[in-house]
Structure 1
Amino acid sequence: MSRAMQPEETSSTTEASAPPVVPMHVRAWNLLNKSGIVVAFVVLFVLLSVTVPDFLTTRNIQGLLLSVTLIGSIAVTMMFVLALGEVDLSVASIVAFAGVVAATVITQTHSVLLGVVAGILAGGAVGLVNGVLVARFKVNSLIATLAMMEAVRGLAYLTSNGDAVMISQESFFALGSGSFLGISYPIWSNIVGFVVFGFLLNKTVFGKHVLAVGGNSEAALLAGLPVTRIKIMVFVLQGLVTGFAGVMLASRMSLGDPKTSVGLELGVISACVLGGVSLTGGVATISGVLVGVLIMGAVQNVMSLMNVPTFYQYLIRGGILLLAVLFDQYRRSRRRV
Structure 2
Amino acid sequence: MNRAMQPDETPSTQAPRSLVTASRARAWDLINKSGIVVIFIVLFAVLSATVPDFLTTRNILGLLLSVTLIGSIAVTMMFVLALGEVDLSVASIVAFAGVAAATTITHSHSVLLGIVAGILSGGAVGLVNGVLVARFKINSLIATLAMMEAVRGLAYLTSNGDAVMISEESFFDLGSGSFLGISYPIWSNIVGFVLFGFLLNKTVFGKQVLAVGGNSEAALLAGLPVVRIKIMVFVLQGLVTGFAGVMLASRMSLGDPKTSVGLELGVISACVLGGVSLTGGVATISGVLVGVLIMGAVQNAMSLMNVPTFYQYLIRGGILLLAVLFDQLRRSKRGV
Opposite residue 91 of structure 2, the aligned amino acid is: A
Residue 141 (structure 2) aligns with: 142
Distance 1:112 1:248 in 2: 12
Which residue number corresponds to residue 7 of structure 2?
A: none
Task: Report the AA paired with residue 76 of structure 1.
Answer: V
AA aligned opposite 1:176 = G
Q: 2 CA distance for matches of 1:32 and 1:325? A: 16
Match of 1:60 in 2: 59
Q: Specify the alignment match of 1:169 in structure 2.
A: 168
Instruction: Figure out how many residues of one structure are paired with residues of the other and give that number.
Output: 318
* 1:287 Cα deviation from its structure 2 partner: 0.1
Q: What is the RMSD computed on CA atoms of the aligned residues?
A: 0.9
Give 1:265 shift. Answer: 0.1
* Residue in 2 that maps onto 1:212: 211
Matches within 5 A, 1:224-235: 224-235=223-234
3-state SS, counterpart of residue 23 of structure 1: helix
Per-residue CA deviation, residues 287-309 of structure 1 (Å, 9 max, x unaligned), is: 00000000000000001001111
How far apart in 1 are the matches of 2:218 and 2:210? Answer: 12
Separation (CA, whole Å) in 2 of partners of 1:309 and 1:158: 33
CA deviations over 1:208-239 (Å, ceiling 9, x no partner):
00000000000000000000000000000000
Cα distance in 2, alignment partners of residues 291 and 137 from structure 1: 35
Match of 2:224, SS state, is coil
Give the residue type in structure 1 aligned to 2:36: I
Separation in 1, partners of 2:315, 2:245 = 26
Say which SS state the counterpart of residue 33 (structure 1) adopts: helix
Structure 1 residue runs of 5 or longer lacking an equivalent are 1-19
- For 2:48, the equivalent position in structure 1 comes to 49
What secondary structure is seen at the aligned counterpart in 1 of 2:187?
Answer: helix
Is structure 2 residue 269 aligned with structure 1 residue 270?
A: yes
Q: What does 1:64-79 align with in structure 2 at a 5 Å threshold?
A: 64-79=63-78
Matched position secondary structure for 2:149 = helix
Q: TM (normalized to structure 2)?
A: 0.94
State the alpha-carbon separation in 2 of the partners of residues 310 and 168 from structure 1: 33
The question of 1:30 aligning with 2:34 is answered: no
TM-superposed CA distance for 1:28, in Å, is 0.6
Q: Which whole-Å CA distance do the structure 1 matches of 2:48 and 2:123 have between them?
A: 40
Match of 1:182 in 2: 181
Matches of 1:23 and 1:207, distance apart in 2? 31
Aligned mates of 1:272, 1:225 — CA distance in 2 = 25
- Once residues 237 and 217 of structure 2 are traced to their aligned partners in structure 1, the CA distance between those partners, rounded to angstroms, is 23
How far did residue 277 of structure 1 move? 0.1
Q: Secondary structure at the match of 1:138?
A: coil
Helix, strand or coil: the match of 2:138?
Answer: coil
Residue aligning to 2:9 = none
SS in 2 for 1:244: helix
Q: What is the CA–CA distance in structure 1 between the aligned matches of 2:72 and 2:98, rounded to whole Å?
A: 15
Residue type of the alignment partner of 1:63: G
Q: Which residue of 1 aligns with 2:259?
A: 260
Which residue does 1:246 correspond to in 2? 245
Instruction: Provide the rounded CA distance (Å) in 1 between the counterparts of 2:257 and 2:211.
Output: 37
Shift of 1:96: 0.1
Q: Which amino acid aligns with 2:301?
A: V
Superposition map of 1:85-96 within 5 A: 85-96=84-95
Task: Point out where structure 2 has 5 or more consecutive residues left out of the alignment.
Answer: 1-17
- Deviation, 1:23, is 1.2
Give, in whole Å, the separation in 2 of the partners of 1:332 and 1:32. Answer: 13
Q: Distance in 1 between matches of 2:270 and 2:22?
A: 32
2:12 equivalent in structure 1: none
Q: In structure 2, how many angstroms separate the alpha carbons of the residues matched to 1:286 and 1:35?
A: 13
Q: Distance in 2 between matches of 1:250 and 1:165?
A: 10
User: Which amino acid in the other structure matches residue 204 of structure 2?
Assistant: V
Larger radius of gyration: 1
User: What CA distance in whole angstroms lies between the structure 2 residues aligned with 1:277 and 1:225?
Assistant: 22
- What is the aligned partner in structure 2 of residue 109 from structure 1? 108
The one-letter amino acid of 1:98's match is A
